[in-house]
Homo-oligomer: A and B are copies of this chain.
Amino acid sequence: MRYLTREPLSADEWHREAMSEHSGASVEFLGVVRRLEAGKPIEYLEYEAYEPMAEQVLEQYIQQAVQQFGLSKVYFRHRLGRVRVGEIAVIIGVHAPHRAEAFAGCQFLLETLKRDVPIWKVRAG
């Protein structure tokens, strides 16, 4: 699996990525499990995926984002299984020539994740 993992996520790997000399903007989104889910305190969320489809859909959207927004680099990781409060569920990092494309590219990938990538929160505890 390229974009999905059952291991704890850290942004360190993304932060070590060098920027191209033509990239003036880096935008990063981290999604973290909150204490309150639907108004109730929780300790963890559990994520499930239709893994081969999720990987394929992500690959297609990342290629589209690179083309559409001229991104020079994309980093995408989503964790599966049990993710505890305060831990990272998703990392989306992009490099682009300018700020507008960097924000638009990162937000495009996040919105497509929320709409079309077959990953589900299946349990909160």
Do B24 and A27 have beta carbons less than 8 Å apart? Answer: no
- Residue interface bits A1-35, CB-to-B below 8 A is 1, else 0: 00000000001000100010111111111111111
For residue A107, CB closer than 8 A to chain B, the reply is yes
For residue A86, CB closer than 8 A to chain B, the reply is yes
Q: Which A25-82 residues have C-beta < 8 A from chain B? A: 25-36
Among the listed B15, B26, B29, B103, which residue makes an inter-chain contact with A32, where contact means beta carbons less than 8 Å apart?
A: B26
Residues of B near A86 (CB, < 8 A) are 19, 21
- Nearest chain B CB to A9 CB, angstrom units: 12
Point out residues on A near B: beta carbons under 8 Å.
11, 15, 19, 21-36, 85-86, 97, 99, 102-103, 107, 110
